[in-house]
């Protein structure tokens, strides 16, 4: 058998190459290639090991005709086009914990550097000045640190900040009250965090929801004199607004490890701004973290290439060869149902029950439960997958109930997912057609049949004449094409639901307009 061939295309600790060789792979270390150069050579490799510099675009993947696995020695995978990789059957893995401590420590270092203006004081002192009276710092003791995102890294930052005698307030829709107590932080909403924080540190992935989470408006809502740290992802903070607010003194200091575009242009507006400090995406750059992630990524990738074992994959569950074909369609259904309740619940999810009926109840429940939870949490975490979702859910205090009912009801096979939140109970169910196609069959106890795919709109209304025409007209006038249309109602004149698939994302103004149509109770955009 020919040896699998791996390319390490970003700077990586030498342990990675050593492990690949020891595990029976050939390995090339070629860093600093342009996308065009990478495209030329990628076709010969079975594995690609990267950090954040290599951008694995659809175009690169198209040329990667032999590629089987991409391994990210680190956490964020926003530089990999995962849908394209999945479509080509390429497994994408990361190392979700290997650099978390190191990155949390970098955020703490940034907080301290801002509090005492260490970089500028250092530069001026070494330039021959003795600017003792130019600098007046602030203590962090007793100050409030507002954490946006309290996952792996945010939690570690919280523990270190508490050790520094700071108070920690955290905004994270996935943080349960119990987990907040365990961490010793106060769970708050974003508005309260902005009003109270003396320091803000961001620790979320970059998603549609977190992009620009510190917008101009939100930073203006902050306490005057706030100091902001971003060691997560560029794009979370509006850089132009940050520049203006530092100039006006509303923001007293800002430290960025990451930029919207990396590397930033040499004339980036923030460069040279007073009380602004930055580092070139060094969050994960310690000897310890780099050894951790290099060893882990090489072991995981070699295991997959040589033995077919799957660990920390973001686009594939870990499955045995016999189970895989049977479970595959169920997992697609389960992930869609999880994603649907996650989008509808939009908030804390302390209790979830996953019920299987008929044929579904006879199968290995683990991948089904994993897929529901992965669907539910994927909007909140970049590294969630079917394998680690149950673990993450447990860690975050989610109560998970599994119910099996071997006897089928009206459907020969059914999965029902119910979440209980402070806003109430939300339950959805789906079945599989005989060709394996997944189908939603029930929402909130109301029968409805729909495919869950692409952009959709969920509308809850009173069952009254005329409403469908008005909704269709609003969308039609805005040039939004309706693909499919599904209706369900509890009883004549009672609660009813409408699920539409639409060709484009529906803008907020239109959602507001639909909300005003008589008898409409709730409008919710969905995406699958």
* Residue 371 contacts residue 338 (beta carbons within 8 Å): yes
51 contact, one of ligand NAI, ligand HPV, none, CB 5-8 Å limit per kind: ligand HPV
Q: Which of 392, 273, 411, 279 is closest to 342 using CA atoms? A: 392
The distance of closest approach from Cβ of residue 383 to ligand NAI in the complex, given in angstroms and rounded to an integer, is 5
Q: In what order do the strands lie in the sheet with 144-148?
A: 186-187, 167-171, 144-148, 199-202, 226-230, 251-256, 276-278
Annotated catalytic residue within 262, 288, 522, 527 = 262
* Residue 367 contacts residue 317 (beta carbons within 8 Å): yes
In the bound complex, which residue of the shown chain has the CB atom lying closest to ligand NAI?
Answer: 151
Q: How far is CA 375 from CA 7, 85, 388, 424, in A?
A: 31, 18, 12, 20
Backbone angles phi, psi at 445, to 5 degrees: 80, 0
Q: Which member of 75, 147, 219, 452 binds ligand HPV (CB under 6 A)?
A: 75
Query: Would you call 262 a catalytic residue per the annotation?
Result: yes
367 contact, one of ligand HPV, ligand NAI, none, CB 5-8 Å limit per kind: none
Q: How far is CA 160 from CA 100, 119, 145, 284, 294, in A?
A: 13, 22, 11, 17, 25
Query: Would you call 40 a catalytic residue per the annotation?
Result: no
The three-class DSSP label of residue 475 is helix
Q: Which of 64, 127, 67 is closest to 91 using CA atoms? A: 67
Shorter beta-carbon distance to ligand NAI: residue 31 or 279: 279
* Residue 56 contacts residue 76 (beta carbons within 8 Å): no
Distance, in Å, from the CA atom of 454 to the CA atom of 483, rounded to the nearest integer, reads: 10
How many residues bind ligand HPV (CB under 6 A)? The answer is: 10
Q: In what order do the strands lie in the sheet with 455-462?
A: 482-489, 495-502, 455-462, 520-527
DSSP 63-75: H-TT--EEEESSS
Query: Would you call 281 a catalytic residue per the annotation?
Result: yes
Shorter beta-carbon distance to ligand HPV: residue 234 or 397: 234
Shorter beta-carbon distance to ligand HPV: residue 193 or 284: 284
416 belongs to the binding site for ligand HPV (CB under 6 A): no
388 contact, one of ligand HPV, ligand NAI, none, CB 5-8 Å limit per kind: none
370 belongs to the binding site for ligand HPV (CB under 6 A): no
74 belongs to the binding site for ligand HPV (CB under 6 A): yes
292 belongs to the binding site for ligand HPV (CB under 6 A): no
Residues that bind ligand NAI (CB under 6 A): 74-76, 99-100, 103, 148-154, 171-174, 203-205, 209-210, 231-233, 257-258, 281, 283-284, 380-383
What does the per-residue mask of binding to ligand HPV show for 85-124, with x meaning CB under 6 A? --------------x-------------------------
What does the per-residue mask of binding to ligand HPV show for 35-54, with x meaning CB under 6 A? ----------------xx--
Shorter beta-carbon distance to ligand HPV: residue 74 or 146: 74
Binding site for ligand HPV (CB under 6 A): 51-52, 74-76, 99, 281, 283-285
């Amino acid at each position: 058998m020919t040896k699998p061939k791996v390319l390490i295309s970003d700077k990586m600790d030498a342990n990675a190459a050593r492990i690949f060789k020891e595990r029976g792979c050939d390995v090339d270390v070629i860093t600093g290639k342009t996308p065009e150069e990478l495209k030329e050579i990628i076709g010969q490799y079975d594995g690609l090991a990267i950090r954040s510099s290599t951008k694995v675009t659809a175009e690169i993947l198209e040329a990667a005709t032999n590629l089987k696995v991409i391994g990210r020695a680190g956490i964020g995978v926003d530089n990999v086009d995962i849908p394209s990789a999945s479509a080509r059957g390429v497994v994408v893995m990361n190392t979700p914990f290997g650099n978390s401590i190191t990155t949390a420590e970098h955020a703490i270092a940034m907080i301290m550097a801002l509090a005492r203006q260490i970089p500028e004081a250092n530069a001026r002192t070494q330039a021959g000045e003795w600017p003792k009276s130019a600098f007046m710092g602030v203590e962090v003791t007793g100050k409030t640190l507002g954490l946006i995102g309290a996952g792996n890294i945010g939690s570690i930052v919280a523990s270190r900040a508490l050790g520094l005698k700071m108070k920690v307030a955290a905004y994270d829709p996935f943080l349960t009250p119990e987990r907040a107590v365990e961490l010793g932080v106060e769970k708050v909403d974003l508005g309260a965090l902005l009003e109270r924080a003396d320091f803000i540190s961001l620790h979320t992935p970059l998603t549609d929801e977190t992009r620009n989470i510190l917008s101009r408006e939100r930073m203006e809502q902050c306490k005057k004199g706030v100091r902001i740290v971003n060691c997560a992802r560029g794009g979370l903070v509006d850089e132009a607004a940050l520049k203006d607010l530092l100039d006006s003194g509303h923001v007293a200091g800002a430290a960025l490890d990451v930029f919207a575009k990396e590397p930033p242009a040499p004339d980036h507006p923030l460069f040279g701004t007073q009380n602004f400090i930055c580092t070139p995406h060094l969050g994960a750059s310690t000897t310890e973290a780099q050894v951790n992630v290099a060893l882990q990524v090489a072991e995981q990738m070699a295991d997959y290439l040589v033995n077919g074992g799957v660990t920390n994959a973001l686009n594939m569950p870990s499955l045995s060869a016999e189970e895989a074909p049977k479970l595959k369609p169920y997992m697609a259904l389960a992930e869609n149902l999880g994603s649907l309740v996650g989008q509808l619940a939009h908030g804390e999810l302390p209790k979830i029950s996953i019920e299987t009926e008929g044929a579904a109840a006879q199968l290995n429940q683990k991948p089904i439960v994993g897929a529901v939870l992965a669907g539910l949490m994927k909007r909140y975490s970049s590294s969630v997958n079917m394998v680690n979702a149950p673990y993450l859910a447990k860690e975050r205090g989610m109560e998970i109930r599994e119910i099996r009912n071997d006897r089928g009801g009206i459907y020969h096979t059914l999965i029902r997912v119910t979440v209980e939140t402070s806003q109430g109970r939300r339950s959805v169910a789906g079945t599989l057609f005989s060709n394996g196609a997944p189908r939603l069959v029930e929402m909130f106890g109301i029968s409805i049949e729909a495919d869950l795919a692409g952009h959709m709109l969920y509308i809850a209304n009173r069952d009254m004449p005329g409403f469908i025409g008005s909704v269709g007209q609003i969308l039609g006038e805005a040039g939004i094409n309706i693909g499919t249309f599904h209706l369900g109602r509890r009883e004549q004149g009672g609660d009813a639901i409408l699920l539409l698939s639409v060709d484009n994302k529906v803008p907020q103004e239109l959602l507001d307009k639909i909300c005003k149509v008589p008898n409409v109770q709730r409008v919710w955009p969905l995406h699958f």
